[in-house]
Structure 1
Amino acid sequence: MSIILFSDADRFDALRMDMQGGPARGKRTLQRRIASTLTILLLAAAWITGIVAGSIALWRHQSTPGPAAAAPATWPGPDGFTLRDDAPTLLLFAHPRCPCTRATIEETARIMAGSEGRLEMRFVFRVPVDADDAWTDSASWRRAAAIPGAATIADAGGALHEAFGVRTSGHALLYSADGSLLFSGGVTGGRGHEGGNPGRSAVVALLAGDTPRIRSAPVYGCPLVSEPLGAAR
C-alpha cells in the first residue's frame, strides 16, 4: 500500500486554485447536475404518463360495446334462410376480419360443444358484393368452419345483417324452433376477451331449458359496415 503525503505547498496550491476558480466552477457544475436531474425526471414522468394513457385507452377500447341493435322478436324469414324445426338456431353475425371476433368464435365453439346436438349453429359473415377469396379465407372464417356441426355463410352486401338488424361483429341471436327470439347480444365479456360471461351463460341456460338471468348482453366487436381497426386477414 502506498501513502501519498501532501506538503504544505501542495495544500496551498490547491486552496489557491479553489479560491481563483472554484466557486464559479462549482456553481456551474451544480447547475448542470440540477438540469440533468430535471431532464431525467421529466423523461421518466412522460414515459409513465404514456404508459398510463395507453393502458387506459386499451381498457376503454376493450370494455366499450358496439351500438345497441334491435333484433326482430320473431324470425324475419328471408327467402331461403329458414329455421331448423326441431332445435333452436343460433346465428353469429361477424366481420371476417374483425380481430375481436376471434374470442366470440371460441366462446361459440364452447356453446356448440356443450349443446349435444340440440343446436343449429350458423356463422353469418358480412362481405362486400365483389368479395374475393381472401374474405372467406380469414383466420376467423377458417376457425368457424372448423367447428363441428357449424355452418358458415357469406352474406354478400349484408342483406341478412340488415334483415336481423345487427350492427356489430360478434352479435349472437338465438331463436327457438318456432321462431321466437330467445337471446340477443354478445357472448364475450369484452373485446377479444375469452372466459365466463353473462351472455354465454344465458345461451347455455336456454339450451338446457332453464330460465336465464338475462336475455340480452352488450356486443363487443368491430362495426360491421367498415374495415375493422387492426383487421386480421
Structure 2
Amino acid sequence: MSVQQDGKSYFVGEEHSCKGSRPGRPKSQELRSKVLKEILRACSLYGPYDFSLDMVAREAGVSRIYLYRNWADREAMITEALMNGFSEVRPVPYGFSEGDVLSVLTACYESVSAVSSSLVGQALFAIVTEKKNAQFAKQFQEMFFRFVYDPYIEALTRCKDMGLIRDGVDPRQLCWLGIGQGMVHLTVMKEPFALKDARELAKMVARAVEPYGSTA
C-alpha cells in the first residue's frame, strides 16, 4: 500500500509486527519464535530441504517431538518462519519523491539491501534458488517480488510517462537490476547487498537512463 507523507510516497506492508518481545508475551510464543528463527538460520545455511530438524531442535532447546506437534511438515515450518520473519522487514518504509528517478531507484535498491541483510532475506534467497520444489520456491519468490518490485515499478513508470526516463528503457528492468545485485551478493559473493552499494548503484543507473540531452 502506498501512502503520502511530507510530499513523499511510502510503501507500507499490510502486516506489522514489533521486533523483540512484547510485555507479557506468553512463554509458549517466545519458544515458538525462537524455533522459527532457528528454522530461518538453518534454511539460509543449508537450503530448505537439506537442514537437519535435529539441529533446529537442539539449537532452539526443544525436542524433535515439539516440532512434529506444532507443524505438519517441513514446508509448514518454513512457511511460518518466513512469514513471521518477513513481517519484521515489511513495515520499514522506503520513501521516495514522485517524479524523481534517483529517489525511486534508491528506495527500491535500499529495500533489496534491507531484505538481503536480514536472516529472513537470506533464507528466502536460499528458497527461491531451490530446485527440488519449484512450486514452493515460486510461492515465496512472488511474495518477495511484491515487496521489492511492485511499489517502485509503478513510480518508475510514471517517471517515464513524464519523460524522465529515456525511450526504450523498461522500468521493470531497472527494478530487476537491484534484485539481481541482491541475488548475486547472497548466492555468489556470500554477503548481503550493502546499503552503500545499493545507493551507488541507484546513482549509476539514474544517470544511465536520463533522456539524451538532459542536463540534470
Q: Give the TM-score normalised by the residue count of structure 2.
A: 0.24
**Could you say which structure has the larger radius of gyration?**
1
More strand by percentage = 1
Q: Give the TM-score normalised by the residue count of structure 1.
A: 0.23
